[in-house]
Amino acid sequence: MQTAASMTCQRQFAQRQPFSSTNLQHGMQRQTASVPSRATPKSSRRQTKRCQSAAALDVREVINNLKQQAQKQKTAAVLGALGAVASGLAFAGPGLAADMVKTGTCLLGNCQLQLATCIADPECLENLACLQLCNGRQDEAGCQIRCGDLYNDKAVQTFTACAVSDKKCVPQKIDRDAFPEPKPDSLDKNFDLGKFEGRWYITAGLNPLFDDFDCQEHYFGVPEPGKLYGKINWRIKKPDNDFIERSTVQTFKQEANPAMLYNGGNDYLHYEDTWYILASKPDEYVVVYYIGNNDAWKGYGGGTVYTRAPSLPDQYVPEIKEALAKIGQKWEDWKVTDNSCKPHPPSTNLLQSAERFAENEFGGLEKVLETDLMSFGKGFSVFEQNVVNTITGEEKVVSDEIQEAEKYLEGIEKSYGSQLPQWLNWGPFKAVFGGGSGNYGAAR
């Protein structure tokens, strides 16, 4: 549908062109195209701006119509297969033998408000539609985690908490031996928690579902002996080659064995992680192996290599290999990450956005998942602690410890803030702004 303004612009454009059937729309050939325009240069410029605004409105109208159609299609698809979606909630894992009818009945009987809120929320609805396409896939667990990565707002968390934690509509996935607990003699006997303070990068990861993200720049603080605060930053890749930035705060307590750090007492899905420090070299690297549990999955795990430099120094790989061998791990199973932290790609104009939206929405969400969703979920070791939690339907404030950790970490992060941001060290920006080696004068 064209607006009156855009039709006026088309008529004036036709008046300024030589008479030709190629530059007139069907039905306009009978107009007097050779009538000269009486507009002054100044009024012509004003009219041109009005025409550009009208064109932009037309494109926005197209985008809104496409979104409304897509929303209706997704709602129908989600409601029509609620049981199948429910079986994949909260990344419940592959091969789940849950009774879909029972699960759907549980949701409709116990989580009606949360489900209604989810369907009314675009991001939560996207998550349900995404989860539906994961059922029966060979990489079902990974697909579900990728959905949770891309779509994770308050409505998603509230619905998931009701389905998994509060009403237990979705059974817990249990992996008993996937990530065995390391023996005490395989841990780092010389690990110094105080030396872990400051900025570190995850430069290699074990579990492709949880550990292999771009731009993993983390800040750690030790406010007192035996306590660790961490601000965790990472990026989630989007299908359009753009990314979403995520951030959260975690707190750890040092166990009786100094090489073990415990993160527990969390509200959302009651998740808990234990970090095992396999090896470390002060101000150079720390090798972490972790095991965790939550209401959806018991026995997940993974591993990360932290380094002061954004990329893993090759000279430390032999030492890391030796530490991994003590717990039966092979370095070849780990993947090096990308911490170049490139900027967002250039934005497209409205018309290109509309075309891309139509292609993604109506070209099949399943195709997008199979070909473009290459980011992997942070899984269950990281959740948005600074987001208001509504597990029981009532808002809960962030815990005092998390607030204390956030304030403490602000000072540590600011100590690096005067240096060049990481993305200025990329490509053409480096030549202009003089990006350094990547550490940017990090305090050692």
> What one-character-per-residue DSSP string does 168-221 give?
--SPPEE-SSSSPPPPGGGS-TT--GGGG-EEEEEEEES-TTTT--B--EEEEE
Band (162; pLDDT cuts 50, 70, 90): very high
Q: What's 97's DSSP letter?
A: -
- In angstroms, the Cα distances linking 230 to 196, 198, 210 are 10, 9, 17
Band (428; pLDDT cuts 50, 70, 90): very low
Band (284; pLDDT cuts 50, 70, 90): very high
C-beta separation of 258 from 191 below 8 A: yes
Band (419; pLDDT cuts 50, 70, 90): low
CA pair distance 202, 312, nearest whole angstrom: 9
Residues 60-107: tens digit of each pLDDT: 565 566 556 555 555 544 444 454 455 455 444 433 444 566 777 888
Helix axes 112-120, 100-110, angle to 10 degrees: 90
Beta strands in 31-97 (DSSP E): none
Q: Among residues 199, 180, 184, 330, which one has the least CA distance to residue 260? A: 184
Mean local confidence (pLDDT), 200-206: 98
Backbone φ and ψ for 222, nearest 5 degrees, come out as -120, 90
Residue 56 confidence (pLDDT): 52
CA pair distance 315, 390, nearest whole angstrom: 47
Residue type for 221, please?
Answer: G
Please give the residue that has the higher pLDDT: either 264 or 433.
264
- In angstroms, the Cα distances linking 34 to 37, 55, 363 are 9, 24, 44
Other beta carbons less than 10 A from residue 87's beta carbon = 26
3-state SS assignment for residue 336 = strand
Residue 69 confidence (pLDDT): 59
Mean local confidence (pLDDT), 37-56: 53
Band (278; pLDDT cuts 50, 70, 90): very high
Residue 348 confidence (pLDDT): 65
Q: 295: burial class by Cβ within 10 Å (0-12, 13-18, 19+)?
A: buried
Mean local confidence (pLDDT), 43-58: 55
Please give the residue that has the higher pLDDT: either 131 or 28.
131
Band (402; pLDDT cuts 50, 70, 90): confident
Residues 7-37: tens digit of each pLDDT: 445 444 444 444 344 443 443 443 434 444 4
C-beta separation of 73 from 128 below 8 A: no
- The dihedral built from the CA positions of residue 336, 342, 348 and 353, taken in this order, carries a sign that is positive
- The dihedral built from the CA positions of residue 37, 39, 42 and 45, taken in this order, carries a sign that is negative
pLDDT at 371 over 70: no
Residue 58 confidence (pLDDT): 56
CA pair distance 9, 60, nearest whole angstrom: 17
Q: 381: burial class by Cβ within 10 Å (0-12, 13-18, 19+)?
A: buried
CA pair distance 346, 337, nearest whole angstrom: 23
pLDDT at 138 over 70: yes
Residue 43 confidence (pLDDT): 55
Q: Among residues 54, 66, 71, which one has the least CA distance to residue 6? A: 54
Question: Which residues 6+ apart lie within 8 Å of 33 measured at CB?
Answer: 14, 15, 17, 18, 19, 24
Tokens encoding 408: 């403490």
- Percent of the chain topping pLDDT 90: 35
Mean local confidence (pLDDT), 251-275: 94
Looking up tokens 């050939």 gives 29
Band (264; pLDDT cuts 50, 70, 90): very high
Tokens encoding 296: 């959806």
- In angstroms, the Cα distances linking 435 to 264, 283, 441 are 39, 22, 11
Question: Which residues 6+ apart lie within 8 Å of 144 measured at CB?
Answer: 88, 91, 92, 93, 131, 134
Mean local confidence (pLDDT), 215-227: 96
- Window from 124-133, 227-236, 298-307, 375-384 with minimum mean pLDDT: 375-384
Band (267; pLDDT cuts 50, 70, 90): confident
C-beta separation of 127 from 159 below 8 A: no
CA pair distance 120, 79, nearest whole angstrom: 12
- In angstroms, the Cα distances linking 35 to 19, 20, 39, 49, 345 are 10, 14, 12, 22, 45
CA dihedral of 220, 222, 227, 232, whole degrees rounded to 10:
-10
Band (437; pLDDT cuts 50, 70, 90): very low
pLDDT at 397 over 90: no
Q: Among residues 178, 396, 163, 207, which one has the least CA distance to residue 295? A: 163
Tokens encoding 377: 């979920």
Residue 36 confidence (pLDDT): 43
pLDDT at 354 over 70: no
Tokens encoding 225: 């002996």
pLDDT at 421 over 80: no
Please give the residue that has the higher pLDDT: either 42 or 387.
42
CA dihedral of 139, 145, 150, 152, whole degrees rounded to 10:
150
Band (415; pLDDT cuts 50, 70, 90): confident
Please give the residue that has the higher pLDDT: either 297 or 135.
297
Tokens encoding 47: 């009219």
**Mean pLDDT, the chain, as a whole number?**
73
